[in-house]
Structures are given as C-alpha cells and as structure tokens.
Structure 1
C-alpha cells in the first residue's frame, strides 16, 4: 500500500516535475513529507503563496511541463489566486494542490474552511475536492490532463485526513499528451488569399501563437512585402534577425507601428489575441488566423477568419499568394522604425543630458539629471548573455524592456502580459532559476512591484537561486503616473517612500549595489551580471521620463500639458 500523498508526488515526478512551490502547513503535511522523501522533486518554500503560483507558472511557460504549487487550508489557498489567474491568462499548465479541513468537517464552517471549488471556479478549468481515497488516481489524471489540454489551471483540494489515506500501491496514473495540429479550412484560405492579393499594402500583426513557424512567417512577410508588428510575447523567437519586424504597438510601442497600421489596405493577424482594440486600425479589411475559434473577431471586426494551426495556415497561404512587387510600404515602415530606434539610442548615451539637445530636453523631463531608464535597459541588453531568461514587472519596466532589449540567441521572456499584475518579475525569475541554476536569469523589477513581495529575496537566498534583480527605482508607480497625466490629471498617490533597496537586500544577506550617477552605471551592470548567486542592483532612475505612446492625439497631448500645469499648482501650493 501507499498513500494518496505519495501517489500524487510519485506521479508528478514521473511527469517530469522537478520543483514544487508553496508554504508548508497542516492539511498538506503528508504531501510535503512525501516530497521530502522523493529525490526527484525539490521543495521550494516561498514567503508568500502568490509567489509560489507565479514561479510555477513561469516554469510551465518555459518548459511546457506542468508547474505545481501548493497552499494549505483557507488563507494559504486564497493567496495562490493572483498567480493562478496569471497562469490562466498566460495559458500555462499549472496544478495547484490546496489543503482543506478534515472531510468530516466539510460544510460545518470549521476554522479556516473555505469552499475551494467555489473560490477557484473562474480561474480553474478543473477543480475537485477529494473526499475518498478511492477517487484516486482518477481525479489526479483528470486534473493534469485538463491542465495540459486547455492549457490552464487545475485545482486539487485535499482535506486534512485524505493525504495520508491508503491506496493500492500498484494503481497506475495514466496521463497522455497527444499533440494536435488543427488544419485550416480550405475555403477560408481561398478567401484570405483573394483579400490579401487584392490589397495594395498589407501589415502583419504576429503573436506568440506563431512563434513556432518563424521561417514560414518570414517568407510570408517577404511575399507580401509586409511590415511585421510583433506583440510583446512574440519578441521571443521572432525579433532577432527579422528584417520585417517593426517593434510593438500599444502603450509600449512606437510611431512606426501606428503608421504601418494606418496606411495598410489589409491587416493580417496571426496567432495573437492582442487585447487592445483601440490600437488596431479602424475599418481596415482584416484576416485573422488563430487556433482558438473564440479569438476570431474578438478584438476587431474580421473579414476572413481562419481557425487552424499557425504553421499549417501560413504554409497554405504561401502555396497560393502572389508576390507584391511594390515594397514601398515595407521600406517606409522599416525606415520609420530605424529612425525611432536611433532617437531612443541617443537617450542611452551617458553624456546625453550634457549635450545641447539633452540640456533642452532635460529641463522638461530630467531636471535632476538622474539615470535614464533607457540607459539601464540598454546596458543590461548589451552585457547579458544570449541565453538569458528575462522577466519583467508590469508597468514602465516592461516599456523599457520592450524598447531596449532584443530577444536574441536563445533568450526567453516571461511577464504578466495578459493579467498585468504587479510583483510578478521576482517570483517568475525564481521559477526560471530553479529550472537551471547555471542559466542567467534577469528580472526587470519596478520598485513598487519588488517591494510588494520583498520577502521573496529570502527565498532566493535560502534556495540558492542566482537571480539578478535590476530595480528601476524611480520612487513612483510609473505607469499609473503616465495614465493620470495622459488623462489630464495631476499625479496623485503614485509616490513611493522607498528605502535604500540595496541596503535592505544586503541586510538580508544578498549581494547588492545602489547606483545614482550615470557614469557609474555600466560598471555596476557588468558587476551584477557577473556575480555568483543572487544580486540586487538598485538603480535610481529618472521619474519624469516621458514614454509617450505611439499614437498621442491632440486630446492626450493636451492632457499631459494640463496635468503638468495642475502638478505645478499643487506643488507651489504645498510650499506656501
């Protein structure tokens, strides 16, 4: 005989799970004890269950193997929610094992009792409370199978008396993963070919769902003479060496993408559920390719919807499309993009603010001559290895990564790109580092995000996770500040009374440094990236940096002007 807990842990090890994340406690003690005795699985105890869920989700996204996290009865399980929602929206296969009160007490409003099946109804594709050992291993098979099939989240709840209950030792867990490639409809391919051939100019919007067909995509862009706008998640695998890509759209984008959208006679969307319809072209004939039928037309009206595997669909188009001889549309978009990149690059030069243009601009957006965040991001890009895993907090950290870091070589990128949570970069970096402690992992941390889960620095130290934490310390919730000013509101409630974050990290026992002067930045970045073990680099950056979106209308520009005027009035009033 064996126990329910031992059966679960053995099955997870057989599936290739190598780490389980969470906080130990009561109902899950049989499971953590089984992990203690299972040589193939490492238990990583976090300081907060939310971090455990983020770390497990990051591992699932990087490997395709199910990530596993745990939270015990009541509050422990509830703390998993935010990280699990991120896993759901990132389509990451994650299994959450949650504790529950003893089965005899279910429904009796027992101490710490929470109805997990109800709480996790929206986030989990599968959720089940095991009420008898005889339900095993069938419910475990269902939980894992459904997490892979969605892919998404499954929640398995174990009452306190179930984990140690006996089951037959020879009961086998059967979990089958069968790859499926959905073939597109031939009639829709024909309609798409007709629309694209008839259009004089085409712009492509490509997402993470098309990353596995890179060569076919490049051939398609060449055939259509089409500039390729990449979603942030598509930077990985599709940015480096791509002579057709022109960066991102949305708040993190650039003017070239706006122009490419607005001047296109047709839009071709492939493998993306880009969530911001206001940034897509209006009334442009559109073809959308996606493996999920419910994504077709969800963000913008679609003339032709192709439900199918991106690679198979692109290959089918290539067999029929005529080539476009006029490449003016592509060449103009690429020229605009390169001009914008050159302007951005000038901001990264250490002496920029001392030149004539810099002195004029700095009076507006860097009056204290602090380190520009573009300079920090560019130096990390320059000196980080080509196999680095990057994670990034939501907000301005993501803006600087999107604009200044290239996903070259075998670099990977993880972030909360669909949920948009704060505090994700640090725990996701921990998850990545635990997969391979010899692979570089760099987290782009906002000061607000880092301090929200600051205790996880201790997790990095306790488990020897050599993450490099680059903190954009601008003393602000920077993206909120931008949103307020864009709407004509004065900045309010965004200020952060930060301590010396490097000193805090050092007090915990972590290697750390603080940088306040531009001339010291490059040496500090090189030192941080080369250091063995975890390292925190606290860089005091310019809080006034202007990161204008690529489509700033008159109303938005006026909003910025009014906001600055109101801020000045408030500031003067405060001093009087």
Structure 2
C-alpha cells in the first residue's frame, strides 16, 4: 500500500534516528505533524516561537553531531525559523528545516501568506528544494538530508499544503547512504615545510579551537614538545581546560592579558582547528602554520606561511616525529605565570565578600556603590555547584564573558552558544534542545535579561515538556555588552536600560520554580538550591550593572573613551 508524502518524510526521519522535531503546528504542516503523532520513535515538541524551535534543533545537532529537525508552516512560520537556522549554519550544525507552502496551484499568485522559500533561504541553506510532485519522494528527502549532514549545514525542504496527503507511488524506504567522515592528512612535503617553520623559531604559541576537540592527546603532546603556551578560543574551552599545564585562557574581548601576551610575543603561531575571526587579536610579526580540515579556512583570517589541510589529530600524529623539541620553557613559563596571577585576581573579584574588604570597598566606590551582586560571583558560584557533566549554554553578551572567565569545562561538560552568529536570545531555546537530547544531564543556561525577555514565551515550552532546565539570569537591567561598547567609544549609555519584571515571579506564574537573589550573602546558597531542585528553575540574580569586563589587551583609546562616557553620563540631562 502506498504512503503519503508526509508519511514518507516522517518514516524516513524516524528510521534515521531523529528523536524530536521542533516547531509550531499549522495548516500546511498538518499532514506531517499528524504522521509524527502516529509514529513511534519520533516526537513532536511544540514551541511558542519558531525561532526558538530552530535554535533547539541546532543545539541538538551541535551536541550530537547528528541531524536536527525543525518545522515552520506557511509564510511567517517559516520566516521565523530564519535566525535560528543562520546560527546552525554558522556553527556547522546539520539541520533540516521542513517548511510549509501555499497550495501548489496557488504558488506564484501572491496568495495569502505566500513567501518564496527558495529565495528566502538562499543565503542560509546548503540545499533548498520545493516538492512539486509526489513522484519526487523520497529522492528529495534523501538529497536534503545528505546535504545537511555531509556539508554540515542547513537544508530546507518545502512542502506545499496540498501535497502532504498525496500518495507516493514509489513506496521504497528512503536510503540516505550517509558516509563516515574521512580522516585525512597533508602529504609529506607539506609536513616537512611546517617542521622547518617551527625549527626556525623558539617561542611558539598554539591557538586551539573546537576543530581540535577530538585530538586532545596530540595537541598536548605538541605543546609539550614545543614548550608552547596554549591559547583557547571560546569553543576550544570544551576538552582543553581540565588538567592542561599549557593553557593560558582565551584571547579577544573576553580574554585575558596572559593570552594576549602569549600571542604578541611568539615568533611562530600554530592554529589548530580554529577559524577565530577577530583579526586585530592575531600577532602581526610571526610565522603562522595552520591546520584545518576545511581547506577554505586556511589563511582566511590571517595570512599563513604554511597551510595544512587535514584532520588535526591525524596531521599532528604525522608531524610530531618531524619536530625538533624546544628546550627553553621561558616563553611558556612567562605566559603561565601571567595567567595564574590573572586567575588569582579574578577569583578574588568573584568572592562574595570582595566588596567588604579594603581594596574591594575602594573599587566599589567607582563601580558598585549600591553593593549589588557582582556577576563574577554568580558565574563562579554556578561553576562550583554545577555537575561535572553539565551542559552549558550562554546568551551573547556579558553572560558569555562571565561564563568564559569563571566556568571551567571540567569532566564531560559541554558548551554551546551563538558564538559565530552572535544572536541574542539563544541560551534558553538551546537549553531546551540540549535537555531533550540528554534528559538525564544537568543543563544550565546563562541568560542575559535582554536575551531571555526576547523569547520569554518559550518558558511555557519548558513547563509543558517538564524539562529540568536551570535558567540563570544575569539581571543587570541593561543590554550590558551594548552599554560597554558605547562607553568604550566615548558615548554615554543610551537605550540600554531595561525595565525588567521580577523574572522569578514570572517563572512562578508560568509553573516553574522561581528564585530571586538580591543580596551577595544569599548568593551561594541560592545557586546551590537552584541546581538541586528537581524540575525547571529560573534563578533571577540582580547583578551590578556597572561591572566592567576589562579585555585582555585594553587600549588607551578604550580607556579614554570610557572616561569621557562616564563624564557625559553624569552631566545634567540636555547638557550635550
């Protein structure tokens, strides 16, 4: 007996092991969601906003390495997917978006809610197709899935509203034939050229990204042989922070002086599995060797002397025997000493009693006169009490700064965020996707108050799905990163103040456990309790809005701009 287009799609996804489909139901999707309703092994998770559904699908794909699936119905429903799909695309996450369309007979006639999906998703998708005949199934589904998985990106399959229930004559099951990833390394002459580059120097620094995560042993051996400090990208934290005697933290605006120094004083830089985009933070006068499995990444951010296309682990295993050990540890020891000193200062700042001590009282006169909770203390408390296998998500902005500096990726902890797209409002929906992927693991979202309030409605999804997600809200009543950007440019803060509700009370009204903290002395116990309470919890912590995250390499212009901004902010209104 022949199956419908919708049934072929859903059965194919179920056979592929797709456990959850995320989206908002409606019109053109009805045949598909009904097929999900009657299929074992695949579940529908209804969201309040399609953007959140796309973020959740992308999170699941990033964590599992397998296909994530979301759906949006005709017109606006599909448009709402776009931001979450861009995040998946820029994160290299395989996601299939199934989008509704007006009836096939009405396409091209400016019908109610009609949107040209093939045009809409042109920039974000590695594959786009509209089903115009049942005879195209299951071939189009197979092509979409293969494209998403093999090219690590977004595929969009559009299904008009009058095609989902039509019968497919070719009733064979879909065959996806997904290949195992190939492990490649450069040829011997290229490796010899890289070895010569290292032999010409004595101060080597590694910049390690997510692409090296599965090659920890080889990366540590390389750092040992070359006596090299190891700077980590934010996405490189996962897998390289624990028991790493070479690590010196992150670079960039969220980084620290030790990492900046390790980069600025090296004569040879080795980039491992990273596409770190901020060109101003690369050293300007050194040899650069880059290893990346994606050839198009070689030299994309900074000119390289030797580009090696291949898997990081396989390439290092072939390169290590060719390297001449560097006996002097002065470059490494200097960077590590600076890093440990910086960590001590950060730990002091994160101590809830910091503002009660002499130096703390002096600093508080400038940046915390109301003695509010410092966000550093909140992040450090979460790090202390969270499980060693917790999954963390973070909103773009200051929440990510505090996580990067105070949360260590020890044990089997995982970390995702909108670290390539830089979207707001990602942490909470990504936490939903993470919790559905790993129902028995602790999931902790570092939420900015601006980000959380943008997609606040999907707290109801957490409640309806009974997900034990822990939402930690840095409630500084500001768009904090924008505030900092304005002040560093010499502009007074403008348009960043948020008139927030009591988020804990909102959570309680929606059926979640809400905990609100306003006093530093209550912080540690509140964090411990929030992470221990069964079920979903929103921890609303009122933090100091004037806190400044000093970058690893502050410039004179930034300091001068900040001073000017503060003067302007304290002038009477209208003084200009």
| Structure 1 length-normalised TM | 0.98
Equivalences for residues 13-412 of structure 1 within 5 A: 13-168=14-169, 170-178=171-179, 179-412=181-414
Asked if 2 retains the 8 angstrom alpha-carbon contact of 1:277 and 1:300, the reply is yes
CA deviations on 1:411-434 (whole Å, 9 max, x unpaired) are: 100100000000000000000111
Structure 1 residues not aligned, in runs of 5+? none
Give me the whole-angstrom Cα distance separating, in 1, the residues matched to 2:316 and 2:369: 50
Shift of 1:183: 2.0
Give the structure 1 partner of residue 568 of structure 2: 566
Give me the whole-angstrom Cα distance separating, in 1, the residues matched to 2:274 and 2:370: 41
CA deviations on 1:111-155 (whole Å, 9 max, x unpaired) are: 000000000000000000000000000010000000011100000
Shift of 1:383: 0.5
**Which of the residues 509, 512, 518 maps onto 2:511?**
509
**Superposition RMSD in Å:** 1.1
Larger deviation, residues 460-469 vs 174-183 = 174-183
SS of 2:85's partner is: helix
Give me the whole-angstrom Cα distance separating, in 1, the residues matched to 2:241 and 2:303: 27
Give me the whole-angstrom Cα distance separating, in 2, the residues matched to 1:391 and 1:325: 40
Shift of 1:480: 0.6
CA deviations on 1:362-394 (whole Å, 9 max, x unpaired) are: 111111110000100011000000110000000
Structure 2 residues not aligned, in runs of 5+? none
Give me the whole-angstrom Cα distance separating, in 1, the residues matched to 2:158 and 2:573: 56
Give me the whole-angstrom Cα distance separating, in 1, the residues matched to 2:173 and 2:457: 39
Shift of 1:349: 1.3
4+ residue runs over 4 A deviation = none
Give me the whole-angstrom Cα distance separating, in 1, the residues matched to 2:328 and 2:527: 45
Asked if 1 retains the 8 angstrom alpha-carbon contact of 2:449 and 2:476, the reply is yes
Asked if 1 retains the 8 angstrom alpha-carbon contact of 2:135 and 2:170, the reply is no
CA deviations on 1:272-302 (whole Å, 9 max, x unpaired) are: 0001001111122111111111111111111
Give me the whole-angstrom Cα distance separating, in 2, the residues matched to 1:55 and 1:338: 37
Asked if 2 retains the 8 angstrom alpha-carbon contact of 1:185 and 1:307, the reply is no
Give me the whole-angstrom Cα distance separating, in 1, the residues matched to 2:66 and 2:4: 24
Asked if 2 retains the 8 angstrom alpha-carbon contact of 1:184 and 1:312, the reply is no
Matched, 1:544 2:541: no
Shift of 1:574: 7.1
Equivalences for residues 480-519 of structure 1 within 5 A: 480-519=482-521
| Structure 2 length-normalised TM | 0.98
Give me the whole-angstrom Cα distance separating, in 2, the residues matched to 1:47 and 1:186: 54
Asked if 1 retains the 8 angstrom alpha-carbon contact of 2:477 and 2:500, the reply is yes
CA deviations on 1:246-282 (whole Å, 9 max, x unpaired) are: 1101111000011101110111101000010011111
Give me the whole-angstrom Cα distance separating, in 1, the residues matched to 2:514 and 2:62: 29
CA deviations on 1:131-187 (whole Å, 9 max, x unpaired) are: 000000001000000001110000000000111111147412111222212221322
Give me the whole-angstrom Cα distance separating, in 2, the residues matched to 1:238 and 1:209: 12
Larger deviation, residues 19-28 vs 483-492 = 483-492
Give me the whole-angstrom Cα distance separating, in 1, the residues matched to 2:292 and 2:215: 13
Shift of 1:317: 1.5
SS of 2:32's partner is: helix
Equivalences for residues 389-468 of structure 1 within 5 A: 389-468=391-470
Shift of 1:461: 0.2
Give me the whole-angstrom Cα distance separating, in 2, the residues matched to 1:471 and 1:573: 31
Asked if 2 retains the 8 angstrom alpha-carbon contact of 1:59 and 1:432, the reply is yes
